[in-house]
Structure formats: C-alpha cells, structure tokens
Amino acid sequence: MELFSREGARVVFAARGAKRGQDLADRLLAEGHHVLFIQANVSHSDDVQRVIAKAVESFGRIDCAFNNAAALGRVQRSADYAEAEFDAEVTSNLKSVWLCMKYEIEQMKKQQPPGGAIVNTSSTNGLGGARGASLYSMSKAGILALTKSAAQEYAGDGIRLNALVAGGFDTEMLHNAITQIVGNDPAKLEEAFKGLTARVPLSRIGDPREAAQAALWLCSAAASYVTGLSMVVDGGLTCWAR
C-alpha cells in the first residue's frame, strides 16, 4: 500500500485494525499522498461493499485492486482441526478474496471506461500443501483456481486478474507460524529461521517490499498483456517443483 501511494496512486485501503491502519494513513497523508483508510472486515459482504462505495465516492473509479487479507490458524495435522476452524480458515482466506473480487469486478465493469486489474495474494503453500497447515494451504490453492477462472471470464470486460504466490517474507504471520512450531525459545527460533533460509536459493527471507513491487507491476500498464498468471515470488524456494 505504501509503495502504491508513493508511486502516485490514490489509495483506499481496508483492515480490521483501526488504530494501526489510521496511523499509517495519517503518516502517508502528512507526506502528501492521497490515502484513505477504512476500518473493515473483508470477509463480511457489507463491509466490502462499503469500502468499494467509499473508494468510488472519493476517487471516481477503481483502476486496480490488491486483495491481500489472510489469517493463519493453528499449526496441526489435518484431522485434528475442528469444523469451526475449517470454516474460519475458508472465511478469512478464501471467502474474503472472493467477496473483494466480486464487488471490484462489478464496479470495474460499469465504470467508464470499463476495466481494471486485480491481484490476489496466494502462497507457495497453495502450490503443493504444507504439513501442519493444510487448511491454510487449501484456501491459498483455492485463490489460485478462483483467480485463473475469473481471468478467463472477465478478459472480455477489460479486467485482468493475476495471483501473487508469496514465499517466505519477513512478516508477523511468518514469525507467528514458526513460533507455533518451535515455541518461543530464542535459540530454537534462530535455528528455524536458519533452516528456512538454507532452503531458499537466494539465501534469505524476502522483504515485504519485494512482494509489493511484484503486485505493483501486475497492476500496472506494463503488465497489460498478463492475465491468469500465478507469479511466484519466493527467492527460488519452489523452483525445483514447478
């Protein structure tokens, strides 16, 4: 979001955390960027429609959208999840993306001139599953199929849809996942991160700004002939298998 605004985009962004989101918006506004924060839960249809309506009211249209909401539940084996945990994972990670796509596409079809670009965040876990994270992997695989299907359906409307398939990035979610696996012992955490880094051909964990750069390109006119793509950004982690 910061990268988009600094590249000159008029940005509307939504998140559940009101204070964190507004603090970021205030900082970017103070720098002279056109930014609007809306507190919302994008797994709720009413919230998504409110965000879309406010974006159009504020800036007139939606040229691109980056759907980047996700949540990771407990790390455990597939049969140990409760039914409620299955429903929560699907709602947070897959339904939220579908709802955002649904109302973004509706707006992009009716605006003049019509069209736009949508990027949905998936994960390398969605390419082949992951032990201890089957529900997360399932939802991320669903995002890939959803994106590719919609890319074929709406190309004639001038709407491009692509997926950003993210590997390991230095985020709160990655730290939480590894902590669930090895606990809070600093030595074990350091060893776990060393082990993950050793599996990456580029020999490091990704910087979130590198994922943002990929999303920015997919949304830009430079990618005008790109749709239905699963762009893997993982430092080469899964290159042997794809």
β-partners of residue 116 are 159
> Rounded to the nearest 5°, which phi and psi values hold at 97?
-65, -40
CA gyration radius, the chain: 18
Catalytic residues: 136
81-85 long-range contacts, CB within 8 A, separation 24+:
81/134, 81/135, 85/135
Dihedral in degrees, nearest 10, Cα atoms 107, 227, 208, 48: 20
3-class state of residue 39 by DSSP: strand
